[in-house]
Structures are given as C-alpha cells and as structure tokens.
C-alpha cells in the first residue's frame, strides 16, 4: 500500500512547474481511461483548469490486437471539439512500457494537431520498451517484473503494489 | 475444432453465417462490443486502427444498398482496405464458378469475405471451402439467414428496452420468404424474449411455423395486443405475382401498420423495419416517420454492429 496524497501533491507541484517552464497556455487536460481519468480529475480540480476534462479510451489504438483481440465495454473517448494548436496535459496513473502513451498520442493526433503535449503520471516505474517518457511523475519506482501497481477508485483513490502469481 | 463451423477451437467467432447454434453469451458479447464502437461515429475522425492492413472483400451477388454501404463504412472505420464487388459486373457473368472467383480473390491475399447471395447456404459453402485464415460473414443468403441484420435489430431493441426477458415482440409480414425474420426469431429466442408473435396471412407463413418457437396470429388487430416491439418486414413485390396475395391494397388493409393499428400495441412500443420500406404497402408513412419509429436508428446501429462482428471474427485465432 502506498500513500496516495503525497504522490498527488508531487504530481501537482510537477505540473505547476511544467506549465510555467513550458509556458503552457490555457492547457487542455486529458486523462487516460480508467486510472488516468481518476488522477486527471484530481489534477484538473487542483490546477483550476477551466475547460472540461477530456477522456481517452485507447483500447482501439492498442498494439496488441493481433495477440489479444478486442475487448467489449470500451468507453467512448471524449475530447473537446478542437485540439488543433492547443497545449495538452496528458495524464495517466502508471507509466510502465510506454505503449499506452504511444496509443494515446496516436489517438490524440487523429483528432487534430496539438501545439504541444506534456505527460504527467502518478508513478513512473522501470520497464520502458519504447523511447517515450513522462515529463513529470509523482514518484519513480523500481519494481520486479512480477510486481504490478494497482489503482482503485475513483472514491477513495487508493494505490497498492501486487505481486502477480501468473505472468500476463 | 468444434462442430460449429462458425467457431474456432476456443469457441470464438471465426465466421458469422447464421444465428443458429450461437450461444446467448456470444450474442451478448457482440452487442457489448458494438456498444463500444458506437462512439467512433461521433469522433471528428471516424476511424480506429484495429484492422489496419487487413483486406475485406464485399462480394455481393445480389443487389443491396444499405447492407453493402454499412458493411463498407464499418470496414473503413476499422481502417481495413475494402473492395466492393457487384457480381453483375464481374466474371461470374462470364461463366466463372463461385469457387473459382473465391480462389482468385484468395490469391490476392484477402482476409475476409462479406457475402450476399440469392442462394441459401452460399456463405456457408464459401466458409467451408475458403483458405483457413479467411473469415466469412453472411450478408444475406437466399431465404435462409441475414444474421447481421438480426443483430443490429437486437442492438436497437436492447438500446431502448434494456432487457429482453419481459418483451413481447411481433414480426409482421412475409415470414415465408424472409431471411431477416428467420434470423430475428433465432436471435430473440436465444436472448430470451418472453414472446415472439408472427403475424401474417396463412399464405406467407412457412408450414409448422410454431416449431420455430413463435406464437401465430393471422389478424393484425388481435395480434398487436400487449406488444412491446413491432418488427415489420418488407413485402417483396415480386410475391404479388405468385398468387400468394390478392393485391397490395388488400394487403395494406389487413396487414399494413397504420397509426390506428399501432395504438393497439403498448403505448411505448417501438416500430422497426429492415428497409427498404414500401410506404403504403406494409407501413403507413406517418408511422414510418412517426415518434415510435426507430427505423433510421437501426441503420446507424448497423455500422457499429458490423464493426463489432468484423473485428471479433478477425481476432487472433491462436491460443488466446
């Protein structure tokens, strides 16, 4: 079990710094379904972002359709009408292999050409498989391959580390 | 291999030829998956990359506008490459056999055939003889089955009525010649509708129709009582010539759905029709365009349902 509040505080501070350093203008915030949306809801509120939170379900953009096929109950993505030229803060719960972010970027670019995309995650763990990395993280962890970070929510938002008995 | 040609060794969908023999769980999985695809049509870019690099051939040996277009759109929204062939303009009219046509297309590395054919069993025949990696979807074969139409009808019913268990459904019109009705009856029975009532003149009902799991009425006024879902069928005009019916106007008088007849059904009953509609023959214009009609919703839903079926049939067929 990990304490969630310090992680949220760190992420919030990191995002504030990013917004200032990179001079993000009226940024749009987008959460990745499902854990990323929960974290994004908290950040959206804390950072007082005026525009409604965007929701991204990347199921149709995953790179493993040829291995595992399609899952039912994919939530429709809800992005604002135009993301053309916008600054976007993309939020996910855990950054692991990087494949989710690849899929999310592909989907976002299907909606238009943003000016800039920054990535904030609650936890960045080791195990990256493609050259993508978060711009800020609430915490950085080194875990064994059998360990998984699990977020439950949305209320209360909790995070714990599980050791998987089977390899999936 | 399972006995059912439609399923692979793991019980997953490989071909989609008929509703018959498919479980309630599988039909529900199709409906749930289709739910996921509904949102794609609302996106600014109405496309997802699931079937990128796959080649789908629409093989239409019989005319169709709606079915072919929605299959084509569904494939395109999944990012597949689609080729639509109308056979009137192809080599079967020059004497090439069905199997030779299939062999030639297989040699062009296609992944899926969507088949409409005037002969019952055509899609099944192709599924039996095509290369093992190819999936076949039946887009209507003779008087046998039109399973994707039935599934989009089920999807539309579930969207509005939520649950099949309490529903009394009427299917009205030419049951005898209708592949749509056959597939609808199988789907409604599998999904557990309370009652399926077929309403038609005796000449337009198959012999022993009760064995399909339906109740029968020959009177529209009596038959519409307590009905939640009214499913109209197109009266195929060519049947008029075969002495099964006296005249169009006579048919409309007895079996045409009018506003006053519709009042006999439950007040929140919905009206469905697979299209193309013959206004003033089986359905009055004010009903077809009225507040209880979901006919155009059926057309929209056809895209999401066909996306679901295509992507499920194209899923990896390996050990997963």
Q: Are residues B179 and B306 in the same domain?
A: no
| Structural contact between residues A125 and A153, judged by C-beta atoms closer than 8 angstroms | no
**Tokens encoding B102:** 């299939």
Q: Looking at the domain assignment, is residue B73 inside a domain?
A: yes
Domain-by-domain residue ranges, chain A? 4-65+76-163
* CATH T-level fold of A4-65+76-163: Rossmann fold (3.40.50)
User: Alpha helix locations (H) across chain B?
Assistant: 24-38, 66-77, 98-106, 122-129, 147-161, 179-191, 220-223, 248-255, 259-262, 285-288, 295-313
> Is B318 a member of any domain?
no
DSSP secondary structure letter of residue B173: S
Q: Is B274 left (phi over 0), alpha (psi -120 to 50) or beta?
A: alpha
First to last CA, chain A: 22
Find out whether A99 and A129 touch, Cβ atoms under 8 Å.
yes
Write out the two tokens for B312. Answer: 């499920």
Closest chain A residue to the Cα of B41, Cα to Cα: A76
What is the per-residue pLDDT across B273-305, written as a single tens digit (0 to 9) for each?
999 999 999 999 999 999 999 999 999 999 999
Q: Measure the CA–CA gap between B2 and B157, rounded to whole angstroms.
A: 31
Best A54, A76, A77, A104 member to test B by mutation, with max B CBs in 10 Å, is: A76
Q: Which residues of chain B make contact with A70, given a CB cutoff of 8 A?
A: 33, 36, 50, 311-312, 315
Structural domain includes residue B6? no
| B79 and B166 both lie in a single domain | no
Q: Residues B230, B262: contact at Cβ < 8 Å? A: yes
B24 carries an active-site annotation:
no
Mean pLDDT of chain A: 91
CATH of the domain at B109: 3.40.50.1370
B8 located within any domain: no
Which residue, among B231, B106, B227, has the nearest Cα to B175 in the 3D structure? B231
Does residue B18 lie in a domain region?
Answer: no
Find tokens 């005026």 and name the residue: A50
Does B238 lie in the same domain as B281? yes
Which H or E run includes A21? helix A4-21
Query: CA B55 to CA A29: how far, in whole Å?
Result: 37
Interface of B with A (CB under 8 A): 12, 29, 32-33, 35-40, 42-45, 47-50, 311-312, 315-316, 320
pLDDT for res B92: 63
Residue B228 lies in a domain: yes
pLDDT at B2: 46
**Is the Cβ–Cβ distance between B246 and B239 less than 8 Å?**
no
Q: Are residues B192 and B242 in the same domain?
A: yes
CB contact under 8 A, A74 and B36: yes
The predicted structure's pLDDT at residue B98: 85
Residues of chain A predicted below pLDDT 50: none
Q: Which two tokens stand for residue A93?
A: 């719960």
| Contact across the interface for B44 and A73, Cβ inside 8 Å | no
Cβ burial B41-75 (10 Å sphere, 16+ → b, else e) = bebeeebbbbbeebbbbbbbbbebeebbebbbbbb
Tokens of B245: 């019916």
Nearest to A72 among B36, B40, B48 (CB): B36
B179 is in an annotated binding site: yes
**By the 8 A CB rule, do B137 and B110 touch?**
no
Measured from the Cβ of residue B291, the count of other Cβ atoms closer than 10 Å reads 8
Question: Using one digit for the tens of pLDDT, what is the confidence trace for B101-128?
Answer: 899 999 999 999 999 999 999 999 999 9
Contact predicate A162/A147, CB 8 Å: yes
Q: What is the pLDDT of residues A12-52, one digit of tens each?
A: 999 999 999 999 999 999 999 989 999 999 999 999 999 99
Domain count, chain B: 2
B63 and B123 part of one domain: yes
Which of A60, A76, A77 faces B50 most closely, judged by CB atoms? A60
- What does the pLDDT read at residue A82? 81
- Please tell me whether residues B182 and B294 are part of one structural domain: yes
For testing contact with chain B, the best of A71, A74, A86 (most B CBs within 10 A): A74
CA distance B272 to chain A (A): 26
CB atoms within 10 A of CB B86: 15
Listed residue (B124, B138, B131) closest to B109, CA to CA: B131
Domain that holds residue B67: 24-146+301-313
Closest CA to B160 of B293, B25, B22, B263: B293
Q: Return d(Cα B6, Cα B22) in angstroms, integer.
A: 8
Whether the model pTM is above 0.90:
no
Whether residue B157 sits in one domain with residue B122: no
Shared domain for B305 and B197, answered yes or no, is no
Tens-of-pLDDT digits for all 320 residues of chain B? 446 899 998 899 999 999 999 999 999 999 999 998 998 887 777 889 999 999 999 999 988 888 999 999 999 999 999 999 887 655 566 677 888 889 999 999 999 999 999 999 999 999 999 999 999 999 999 999 999 999 999 999 999 999 999 999 999 999 999 999 999 999 999 999 999 999 999 999 999 999 999 999 999 999 999 999 999 999 877 666 667 777 888 889 999 999 999 999 999 999 999 999 999 999 999 999 999 999 999 999 999 999 999 999 998 765 43
């Amino acid at each position: 079990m990990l304490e969630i509040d310090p992680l949220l505080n760190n992420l919030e501070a990191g995002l504030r710094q990013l917004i200032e350093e990179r001079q993000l203008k009226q940024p749009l915030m987008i959460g990745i379904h499902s854990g990323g949306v929960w974290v994004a809801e908290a950040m959206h509120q804390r950072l007082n972002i005026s525009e409604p939170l965007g929701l991204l379900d990347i199921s149709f953009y995953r790179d493993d359709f040829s291995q595992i096929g399609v899952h039912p109950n994919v939530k429709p993505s809800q992005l604002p009408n135009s993301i053309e030229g916008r600054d976007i803060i993309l939020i996910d719960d855990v950054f692991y292999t990087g494949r989710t972010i690849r899929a999310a970027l592909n989907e976002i670019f299907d909606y238009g050409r943003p000016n800039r995309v920054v990535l904030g995650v609650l936890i960045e763990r080791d195990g990256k498989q493609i050259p993508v990395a978060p711009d800020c993280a609430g915490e950085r962890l080194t875990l064994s391959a059998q360990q998984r970070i699990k977020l439950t929510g949305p209320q209360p938002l909790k995070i714990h580390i599980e050791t998987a008995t089977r390899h999936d | 291999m399972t006995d059912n040609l439609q399923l692979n060794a793991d019980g997953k969908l490989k071909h989609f030829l008929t509703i018959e023999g498919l479980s309630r769980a599988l039909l529900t999985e199709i409906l749930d998956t289709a739910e996921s695809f509904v949102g794609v049509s609302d996106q600014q870019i109405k496309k997802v990359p699931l079937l990128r690099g796959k080649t789908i051939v629409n093989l239409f040996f019989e005319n169709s506008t709606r079915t072919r277009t929605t299959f084509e759109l569904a494939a395109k929204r999944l990012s597949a490459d689609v080729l639509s062939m109308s056979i009137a303009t192809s080599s079967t009219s020059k004497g090439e056999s069905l199997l030779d046509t299939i062999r030639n297309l297989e040699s062009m590395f296609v992944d899926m055939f969507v088949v409409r054919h005037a002969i019952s069993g055509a899609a099944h025949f192709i599924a039996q003889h095509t290369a093992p990696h190819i999936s076949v979807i039946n887009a209507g074969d003779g008087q046998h089955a039109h399973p994707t139409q039935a599934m989009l009808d089920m999807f539309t019913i579930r969207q509005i009525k939520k649950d099949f268990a309490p529903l009394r459904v009427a299917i009205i019109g030419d049951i005898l010649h209708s592949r749509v009705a056959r597939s609808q009856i199988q789907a409604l029975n599998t999904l557990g509708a309370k009652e399926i009532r077929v309403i038609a003149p005796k000449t337009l009902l198959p012999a022993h129709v009760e064995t399909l799991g339906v109740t029968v009425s020959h009177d529209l006024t009596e038959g519409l009582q307590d009905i939640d879902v009214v499913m109209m069928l197109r009266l195929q005009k060519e049947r008029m010539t075969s002495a099964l019916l006296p005249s169009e106007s006579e048919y409309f008088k007895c079996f045409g759905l009018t506003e006053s007849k519709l009042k006999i059904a439950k007040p929140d009953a919905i009206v469905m029709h697979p299209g193309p509609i013959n206004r003033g023959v089986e359905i009055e214009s004010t009903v077809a365009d009225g507040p209880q009609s979901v006919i155009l919703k059926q057309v929209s839903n056809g895209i999401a349902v066909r996306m679901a079926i295509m992507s499920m049939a194209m899923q990896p067929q390996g050990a997963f």
